[in-house]
Chain A
Amino acid sequence: GEEVAQTPKHLVRGEGQKAKLYCAPIKGHSYVFWYQQVLKNEFKFLISFQNENVFDETGMPKERFSAKCLPNSPCSLEIQATKLEDSAVYFCASSQVRNQPQHFGDGTRLSIL
C-alpha cells in the first residue's frame, strides 16, 4: 500500500497481560522503524529492521519487548507482562533505504489499566 498501516488504533490491556501491535510498511520499503511516544512530545526509538533482519535494537527494553518482521506478513511489536509505564502511542515508520525520509503510520495507542 501507499501508506503505513498500523493496527489496532487503540488497544486496552490490564496490567500483566500481553499486547501485540501490527504494522504494514509501504510496499517496496526495506526499512521499518518502531518508536514509542510516552508524553506529548517525547519520542523514543525502539528498534529497526532491514527486511526481516533486525538492524538496530539499541532502544528496545531488554525484557518483555520483542519485535518481528517476517516475509509476507505485517511487522509486529509484542509486549509481554505489560506495565502501567508501557502506556504510550507506538508509531511504526518505513523507508525505502536507510537514510531516506521515513513515512509514519498513525500509531497504536496502548492503554494499560
Chain B
Amino acid sequence: DAKTTQPNSMESNEEEPVHLPCNHSTISGTDYIHWYRQLPSQGPEYVIHGLTSNVNNRMASLAIAEDRKSSTLILHRATLRDAAVYYCILSSGSSNTGKLIFGQGTTLQVKP
C-alpha cells in the first residue's frame, strides 16, 4: 500500500483559510486520494476524494499536484468545529479492497 506523509500538527486562526499538505510520492496511477477527519470522541468522517483533477464540495477543496505526488486539503474558512485530526489516505483503484490505510494524520488546532 502506498504511503502518505503529513505534518503532525498545524494551527490556524478562526475564519482564515487552512491548507493541509500531504505527500504521497509512491502513488500509482490508479490510486485515489481520500481525506477523512476525526473530531474528538467521534468516528472518522469523510471529507473529500479525487484522482487527478481538483475537487470541490461543501466541506472543502482538494488540490492535486500535476505529478500527483502531493495534494492539499483546503478549508476555506476555518471554524472552531474544524479542529480535528485530518487523515490523507490512498486507496488503490486497481486492486482496491476498499480498506482505508490510515497514517498518523495532522492534528489541526483552530484558535478563536
Residue numbers of A with Cβ under 8 A of B are 4, 31, 33, 35, 40-43, 45, 48, 55-56, 58-59, 91, 93, 95, 98-99, 101-107
Contacts and interface: CB of A to CB of B under 8 A. Distances in A.
B15 interface: no
Question: Most chain-A CB neighbours within 10 Å: which of B34, B96, B99, B102?
Answer: B99
Given A33-B98, A33-B99, A104-B44, A99 B104 contact: no
A99 B100 contact: no
Contact of A45 (B49, B99, B105): B99
Given A43-B102, A99-B96, A101-B46, 20 more contacts: A35-B102, A40-B85, A41-B85, A42-B102, A42-B104, A45-B99, A48-B97, A58-B97, A58-B99, A99-B32, A99-B91, A99-B93, A101-B34, A102-B44, A102-B100, A106-B41, A106-B42, A106-B43, A107-B42, A107-B43
A106 B41 CA distance: 7
B44 A91 contact: yes
A105 B42 CA distance: 8
Interface residues of B, number: 22
B46 A103 contact: yes
Interface of B: 32, 34, 41-46, 49, 85, 91, 93, 96-102, 104-105, 107
Contacts of A91: 43-44
A12 B98 CA distance: 31
Given A41-B104, A45-B101, A99-B91, A93 B96 contact: no
B110 to A, nearest CB: 18
Given A33-B98, A48-B98, A104 B93 contact: no
B43 A98 contact: no
Contact of A98 (B42, B45, B98, B104): B98
